[in-house]
């Protein structure tokens, strides 16, 4: 039986009831190609002198790693000239990136976190790239920040690449979730995990326990119940896993179940959370929901949130449906 490449998969999706169009297919293929280049740079590591700090900061006020800058440039360069995008937005840049005037413009908007979990790079732990695609309304200037401020329900595709022991691209077009593994020998993404699903129940959770003293009461209640184990109200023992790379943590949950939690806390009471709605929470929530899981900010479905700013932050609870329902109920009550 022949193996199904990403290109073949997308072409077949385009043929089936016009599930996607040619511009959207090209948009995904270009991002996937850029991720192969990022993977190559990460694999070189110290051999290519790409580890360590870049000596610059991003719009979030965070110190950038050299690979943060490289990954951002790779994605920009790959997506500027194909004629499939109206504009690009990156977590690393304050404003949308315009398509150069000498190139044609397309009908889609691309958002990405070029290298999620980059604090793990220097210790050789998995990191990833997250991306999301939206339609650009006809006749609208794609460089206007407001055109990107669409709720997550308007995403037409989302995905992430995890650079781990195997490099994988996980993708949704709104009709399920499919995983592709990079075959480095032939340079192709091969469909290896069709129709990925999140188990409804789990015995694993992911959270940064060092922030416990800053959590709000509903989060403390929920985590205390998990830690109580068999003797507690949940009646079973839980294991905690925390990679500090959203891509790696979510990929584990997508593969074997669990709940990923990054709540707001008292350190920055004026902010509704730490993670970025447009670059992290929306695409990951789209993927998790398409795999049968759930995603909320503790009070409501993340994909229903109306963004108000390009770099807006949000609390995130996503993963196995029953666990997300419990922690959301505690917030609502």
Does residue 282 have a known ligand-binding role? no
Q: Is the pLDDT of residue 123 over 90?
A: no
166 to 10, 34, 43, 85, 202: CA distances (angstroms): 22, 17, 11, 29, 24
Which residues share a beta bridge with 90? 112
What's the pLDDT at 142?
A: 78
What's the pLDDT at 221?
A: 97
| Contact by Cβ (8 Å): 167, 144 | no
Does residue 75 have a known ligand-binding role? no
Tens of pLDDT along 261-298?
999 999 988 899 999 999 999 999 999 999 999 999 99
Tokens for 94? Answer: 């304050």
What's the pLDDT at 23?
A: 95
What's the pLDDT at 62?
A: 64
What's the pLDDT at 201?
A: 84
Does residue 77 have a known ligand-binding role? no
Tens of pLDDT along 28-73?
999 999 999 999 999 988 887 877 776 665 666 666 778 889 999 9
Does residue 277 have a known ligand-binding role? no
Which residues share a beta bridge with 108? 85, 135
Does residue 280 have a known ligand-binding role? yes
- CA 261 from centre of chain: 14
What's the pLDDT at 60?
A: 63
Dihedral sign (CA 12, 14, 18, 20): positive
Strands 167-172 and 157-163 come out as antiparallel
CA atoms of 201 and 34, how far apart (whole Å): 35
Domains of the chain: 6-193 (3.30.540.10), 204-332 (3.40.190.80)
Strands 63-65 and 97-98 come out as unpaired
What's the pLDDT at 53?
A: 76
Does residue 312 have a known ligand-binding role? no
- CA 118 from centre of chain: 14
Does residue 141 have a known ligand-binding role? no
CA atoms of 85 and 62, how far apart (whole Å): 28
Tokens for 143? Answer: 């460089």
What's the pLDDT at 16?
A: 85
| Contact by Cβ (8 Å): 174, 290 | yes
Which residue has 């416990």 as its token pair? 212
What's the pLDDT at 126?
A: 93
Mean local confidence (pLDDT), 88-106: 93
Mean local confidence (pLDDT), 300-306: 98
Tens of pLDDT along 196-240?
999 988 899 999 999 999 999 999 999 999 999 999 999 999 999
Does residue 179 have a known ligand-binding role? no
| Arithmetic mean of pLDDT over the chain | 93
Does residue 29 have a known ligand-binding role? no
Q: Is the pLDDT of residue 319 over 80?
A: yes
What's the pLDDT at 1?
A: 58
Does residue 224 have a known ligand-binding role? no
Q: Is the pLDDT of residue 177 over 70?
A: yes
Residues counted in the chain: 333
């Amino acid at each position: 039986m022949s193996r199904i490449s990403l290109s073949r998969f997308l072409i077949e999706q385009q043929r089936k009831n016009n599930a996607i169009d040619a511009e959207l297919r090209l948009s995904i293929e270009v991002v996937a190609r850029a991720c192969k280049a990022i993977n190559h740079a990460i694999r070189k590591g110290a051999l290519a002198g790409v580890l360590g700090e870049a000596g610059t900061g991003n719009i979030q006020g965070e110190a950038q790693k050299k690979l943060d800058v490289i990954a951002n440039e790779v994605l920009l360069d790959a997506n500027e000239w194909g004629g499939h995008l109206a504009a690009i937005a990156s977590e690393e840049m304050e404003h949308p990136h315009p398509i150069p005037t000498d190139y044609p413009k397309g009908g889609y908007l691309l958002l990405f976190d070029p290298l999620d979990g980059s604090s793990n790079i220097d210790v050789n732990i998995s990191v990833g790239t997250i991306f999301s695609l939206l339609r650009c309304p006809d006749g609208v200037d794609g460089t206007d920040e407001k055109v990107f401020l669409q709720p997550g329900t308007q995403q037409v595709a989302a995905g992430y690449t995890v650079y781990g022991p195997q490099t994988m691209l996980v993708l949704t077009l709104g009709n399920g979730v499919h995983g592709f593994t990079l075959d480095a020998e032939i340079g192709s993404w091969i469909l290896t995990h069709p129709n990925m699903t999140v188990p409804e129940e789990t015995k694993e959770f992911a959270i940064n326990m060092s922030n416990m003293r800053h959590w709000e009461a509903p989060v403390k209640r929920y985590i205390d119940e998990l830690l109580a184990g068999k003797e507690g109200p949940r009646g079973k023992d839980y294991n905690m896993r925390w990679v500090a790379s959203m891509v790696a943590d979510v990929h584990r949950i997508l593969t074997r179940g669990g709940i990923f939690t990054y709540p707001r806390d008292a350190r920055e009471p004026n902010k509704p959370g730490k993670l970025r709605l447009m670059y992290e929470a929306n695409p990951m929530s789209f993927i998790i929901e398409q795999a049968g899981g759930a995603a909320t900010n503790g009070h409501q479905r993340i994909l229903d949130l109306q963004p108000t700013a390009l770099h807006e932050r949000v609390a995130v609870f996503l993963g196995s449906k029953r666990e997300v329902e419990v922690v959301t109920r505690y917030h609502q009550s």
